[in-house]
Amino acid sequence: MQRVLIIGGHGKIALQLAGILSGAGHQVTSVIRKNEQSDRVAETGARPLVLDVETSTQTELAAAMAGHDAVVWSAGAGGGNPERTYAVDRDAAIRSMDAAAAAGVRRYVMVSYLGARADHGIPEGHGFFAYAQSKAAADEHLRGTGLDWTILAPGALTDEPSIGRINPSPSGSDTRTSRASVVLVAAAVLELPETSRKTIAFTDGEVPIAEALGGP
């Protein structure tokens, strides 16, 4: 049994992940921004915790993380506002990493995206630029920490069901990845210490997830 804190707990990926982890016997705390999101989170078996990560301090985040075994970052500003994108997807994410270290929570799983890197190639002025910049900075910071991190880098997200198979070596133009596949990969890496300090790029494919991750 693990005690897992999910940041961005009302998102589509987080709600599914909380349900899977809770159903497997883990204790899940889901961090949400609004009290009215609590009932939906509680339906997954997770304990809702109202805490706005955009404005929370590192000390407040560390207090929320204390006593947990792992943190999963699945939060995002949702685009449309570059200032808020930088505040959440970059600054708050980085604070959460430093908070995890301060709280003694070594395991940290980041939900990023396929192609997140400093040379992402998105032109300034493009609507995706702030997000690309933010994720690149957050991922780079995470790689420089002493945490047992895993970065998940799925392709373009869809709401299609998952068949439990992925392509761990994505290339070409078909980068579709179901959110359900992201959830299954996130749940799997929490059980696989050997995925620590790795970036896992994937799309939907034909390789069973456990095999793709090098598990039993």
Q: If you search the block for the tokens 């685009």, which residue do you land on?
A: 79
Residue 98 backbone dihedrals phi, psi, to 5 degrees: -65, -35
Instruction: Give residue 78's pLDDT.
Output: 78
Q: Which residues make Cβ contacts (< 8 Å) with residue 94, sequence separation at least 6?
A: 137, 138, 141
> CA 204 to CA 208: how far, in whole Å?
10
Under DSSP, the state recorded for 37 is: G
Residue 201 clears pLDDT 80, i.e. is over it: yes
In this predicted structure, what is the pLDDT of residue 215?
A: 62
Confidence class for position 140, pLDDT limits 50, 70, 90: very high
On the question of pLDDT at 127 being above 80, the answer is: no
Distances (CA, A) of 137 to 17, 56, 91, 94, 167: 25, 19, 9, 8, 26
Average pLDDT over residues 116-138: 87
pLDDT digits (tens, 9 = 90+) for 173-194: 778 999 999 999 999 999 999 9
Q: What is the pLDDT of residues 17-32, one digit of tens each?
A: 999 999 999 999 999 9
pLDDT at 214 over 90: no
Return the pLDDT at 200.
97
**Model confidence at 119, in pLDDT bands (50, 70, 90)?**
confident
Q: 97 to each of 32, 61, 80, 110, 147, how far by Cα in Å?
A: 17, 9, 25, 10, 8
Q: Is the pLDDT of residue 120 over 90?
A: no
Axis crossing angle, helix 58-65 with helix 93-103, rounded to the nearest 10: 50
Look at residue 193 and give its three-state secondary structure.
helix
The total of structural domains in the chain comes to 1
pLDDT recorded at residue 47? 98
pLDDT average, residue stretch 101-117: 95
The tokens describing 84, both together, are 């808020």
- On average, the pLDDT of the chain sits at 94
75-99: average pLDDT: 93
The mean pLDDT value for 36-43 works out to 97
Q: What is the domain-level CATH number for residue 9?
A: 3.40.50.720
Structural domain harbouring 80: 3-212
Q: Residue 101 above 90 pLDDT?
A: yes
